[in-house]
């Protein structure tokens, strides 16, 4: 049995009402109902709270943290405390723009990004050097989904080299790490008797 399945199997005891309401009365066996809960709730569990392993992986790779929905949210919380949340929001907006293929949508999104994060009149203006900024100004005549690629890399580098090390040493990250470590220890302690009974 996969380790992740065992964890969710045990966690069924924390939401019996949700499981019983989600499945028909044909599940006469508690074991059968528990396995049904594994299938239904495993994706939800993974999307809501990061595991200890995932939280630890963020410290090894900035890119891995940005790929994680939970990682981005925690990092955003930290950036907000430093008044630099707009760097991440700009990076995410550029990611969305790169996925866009419709010319009309590209034009609209490119201009919104400019007004929100590049214009010197915007309160959310990100820090870009003059060369990159000039290139963006020229691209506005014919916007493309890649027009912010160099600016995005510049902000990515800024977050990686400047904000990320402070994030790893912040109470935001350390508290989350401690919380997930404690949860993992509690689960292991509670799982041992269960696994013993399952093996009998």
Give residue 183's pLDDT. 78
SS3 sequence of 138-199: HHCCCCCCCCCHHHHHHHHHHHHHHHHHHHHCCHHHHHHHHHHHHHHHHHHHHHHHHHHHHH
User: Which residues make Cβ contacts (< 8 Å) with residue 37, sequence separation at least 6?
Assistant: 8, 9, 12, 15, 19, 22, 23
CA 20 – CA 16 distance, rounded (Å): 6
Gap between the Cα atoms of 126 and 151, Å rounded:
9
Please give the domain boundaries of the chain with CATH numbers for all domains.
Answer: 3-48 (no CATH), 82-169 (1.10.167.10)
Q: Which residues of the chain have pLDDT under 50?
A: 1-48, 191, 194-195
Radius of gyration of the chain (CA): 23
| pLDDT, tens digit (0-9, with 9 covering 90-100), for 151-183 | 999 999 999 999 999 999 999 999 999 998 887
Rounded Cα–Cα distance for residues 145 and 36 (Å): 43
pTM > 0.75: no
């Amino acid at each position: 049995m996969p380790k992740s399945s065992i964890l969710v199997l045990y966690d069924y005891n924390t939401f019996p009402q949700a499981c019983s309401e989600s499945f028909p009365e044909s599940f006469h066996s508690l074991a059968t109902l528990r396995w049904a809960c594994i299938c239904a709730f495993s994706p939800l569990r993974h999307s809501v709270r990061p595991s200890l392993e995932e939280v630890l992986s963020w410290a090894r790779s900035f890119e891995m943290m940005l790929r994680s929905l939970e990682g981005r949210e925690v990092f955003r919380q930290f950036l907000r405390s430093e008044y630099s949340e707009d760097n991440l929001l700009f990076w995410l907006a550029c990611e969305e723009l790169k996925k866009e293929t419709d010319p009309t949508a590209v034009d609209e999104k490119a201009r919104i990004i400019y007004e929100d994060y590049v214009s010197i009149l915007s309160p959310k203006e990100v820090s870009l050097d003059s060369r990159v900024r000039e290139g963006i100004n020229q691209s506005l005549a014919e916007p493309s989904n890649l027009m912010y690629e160099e600016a995005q890399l510049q902000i990515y580098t800024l977050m990686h080299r400047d904000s990320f090390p402070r994030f790893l040493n912040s109470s935001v990250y350390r508290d989350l790490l401690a919380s997930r470590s404690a949860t993992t220890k509690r689960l292991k302690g509670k799982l041992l008797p269960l696994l013993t009974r399952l093996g009998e």
